[in-house]
Chains A and B, each alone.
Chain A
């Protein structure tokens, strides 16, 4: 049977067909749908949202040690969080097959940096595969499980946004009958203390040698000879661009991107006059091939920044001119906080109070853009708290009193909590605002430990943020509705001035949640409106300036009534039918 599937959905299907039974992840674009699809479609696989990627990987490692085939999924920056267990599970190896999915985001469609996860494969000495469409996503995941068991190693499968988030045709197969392996106590293999780890490092090096040999003969690495003039070595989505831009070139498509097949590459290189390496981001293949003494053309012509495309390849390698339509300048349209977004009220207050705001990763990062322009910093998940603490230590208490850290509920659980502990333990003074919108918003509404539901929507224990903060030593915890602007402002003023650390829980559900019902569309009564433009300060996309007057777009307004609260003339009212 053939089906149109997202790359991520195909990964889920591959895990299912391989008989995988445990999946753990923390959501991160563009990897999120892998675990969502597993939870939704394959009851045979236990699935969960973990508090962060490190935990997700540890759970998958445990499941593998326990004898099951296990998978964990994350985005590239998530692999940074999970890097600690990764480097050691490379030493222990596996019992049941262990597959680590990582989705890179060249072009940074929704990421804070543009890193190339292939470097992690090399650094941790773990083999890595890279599919180029949905069918391969499914096949490579299955292959990864078998390589994992054959070579006693975790296997990383790398995706990129254009593979993870594009749909293509997948041929479905039946589920493999995988029997969970016995659990065998083996401290020499699984307890990585120095004496044992030293021995395992030797094993890892031997395994690398075996994998190099495997890579040379694996069907994952395919040569298609055509022209003798031009040969291209490529992988993943770049392969698709090459096929489109250079239909007559001979191609060595690498499905196994680490370790690379050196003999195969040398043989391929000897058969073509000009050899190109086409890879997105880092010169990862290029450097290794150059080291083999083979001349290739790669990054001297192609960019290390952003995504490739067939037109970039045609232009840079074949010298074809790109159609460059001179178009008029069109206003940009950056993403904005939704109408009804609870963060809008908070940013309104923070801006009004002219605070320094240490920000974090989530929808609310958009608060850095106009008109809010309220966020000063954003580094990585959970960083807001540590950064605020550091600023205070650098610049003193008075600066600290003009500073707040803001982060979402899910982000706080992910890696904010340790920062908060640091503040308490080291006698900091910071004010932390947790934006509790009852869901993980940015990645598209995933449950998390603060929502009270599992990935399957089953009710579970809910982290009590108030109690949690008190438990780590915060004595001042205040829960306040960000749409109650007066009260919110009062609380922020008080808490920033106090000589002790404090937490404000800004609590109001995401406007996109199905159970959130507002009052209905609002309109501006033009007779009462004084054109003072206070309502415009909210940065609500539904309020538009028509030149002569202001208007609320009924197609966008959800009726949160935040604008009615800032209007001093009572000019905003419920729109009639």
Chain B
């Protein structure tokens, strides 16, 4: 692997920022140059959130643009659809099947698109799962992000222990057990 561009999309409050920190940490352990870009502020809760993790020999721009993502980690279906044009030609997308209605849908001014995952599967390599359910079964619905990182870890082929170590360094001790379990579940989900 020479470089890896990971785009993380989701809804504010879902734990996307923590995920980008873990992945940045993984890159550092692999001795890559790495940039992680995040935009936060303005009580991003509930809004679309996009973060970028780029590793390689030398990384200049911190941003992943159209067609440049090797992997997209989508925490929510609609956000997966929104960013699909960033996915590169041989890119892979991991989708949490959760649906969170945005306010325009809630108030009836827009419609939540149907069959998102099926549509995306037509032209893209998609790995989808109900990460919320898995996280709940592991003991904390907030571990959705780590379930998805588990799936990603398997796809990248990077040594699993490096991910585990990165998680240990970033996640607070009292949540660690649940999160490591969530990581395992994600890692073993798609065979």
A369 touches B84 (CB 8 A): no
Pick from A2, A133, A243, A441: contact of B43, CB under 8 Å: A441
Residues of A within 8 A of B59 (CB): 168
- Cβ B85 vs Cβ A333 within 8 A: no
Which of B36, B42, B108 is the one whose CB lies under 8 Å from A442?
B42
Shortest Cβ gap from B4 to chain A (Å): 15
B98, CB-defined interface residue at 8 Å: yes
Tell whether B48 is near chain A: CB-to-CB under 8 Å: yes
Specify which chain A residues have a CB less than 8 angstroms from the CB of B28 in the assembled complex. 2-4, 169
Residues of A within 8 A of B13 (CB): 338
**Quick check: is B132 within 8 A (CB to CB) of the other chain?**
yes
Query: Which residues of B lie under 8 Å from residue A555 when comparing CB positions?
Result: 98, 100, 132, 141
From A44-52, A450-458, A535-543, the one touching the partner chain is: A535-543
Indicate if the CB atoms of B35 and A167 lie closer than 8 Å.
Answer: yes
Contact with A along B16-30 (1 / 0, CB 8 A): 000001001101100
In the complex, A113 has a CB within 8 A of chain B: no
Chain B residue nearest to A362 (CB atoms) is B43
Complex contact B45–A327 (CB within 8 A)? no
Residues from 28 to 85 in B contacting A, C-beta threshold 8 Å: 28, 33-48, 59-63, 65-67, 78-79, 81-82, 84-85
Asked if residues B40 and A165 are in contact (CB atoms below 8 Å), the reply is yes
**Across the interface, do A4 and B41 meet the contact criterion of CB distance under 8 Å?**
no
Q: B106 contacts the other chain (Cβ, under 8 Å)?
A: yes
Per-position binary interface string of chain A over residues 327-350, scored 1 when its CB falls under 8 Å from any chain B CB and 0 otherwise = 110111111111000000000000
B113 interface residue, CB < 8 Å from A? yes
Answer yes or no: B174 CB below 8 A from chain A CBs: no
* Pairs A–B under 8 Å by Cβ, sample size 28: A3-B28, A4-B24, A4-B28, A4-B34, A29-B41, A109-B42, A110-B39, A110-B40, A162-B62, A166-B38, A167-B24, A167-B34, A168-B59, A169-B28, A169-B33, A240-B60, A331-B112, A332-B48, A334-B102, A338-B13, A370-B107, A442-B41, A442-B43, A444-B40, A541-B100, A543-B106, A544-B101, A545-B108
**Chain A to chain B: the 6 pairs with minimum beta-carbon distance, closest first:** A29-B41, A335-B47, A110-B42, A331-B110, A325-B85, A110-B41
Give me the interface of A with B, judged by CB distance under 8 Å: 2-4, 29-30, 32, 109-110, 133, 161-162, 165-169, 237, 240-241, 243-244, 309-311, 322-325, 327-328, 330-338, 363, 366, 369-371, 441-444, 512, 536, 539, 541, 543-545, 553, 555-556
Given A323-B85, A337-B46, A338-B13, 11 new contacts (CB under 8 A)? A109-B42, A169-B33, A309-B63, A325-B85, A331-B105, A333-B47, A335-B42, A335-B45, A443-B41, A539-B107, A545-B106
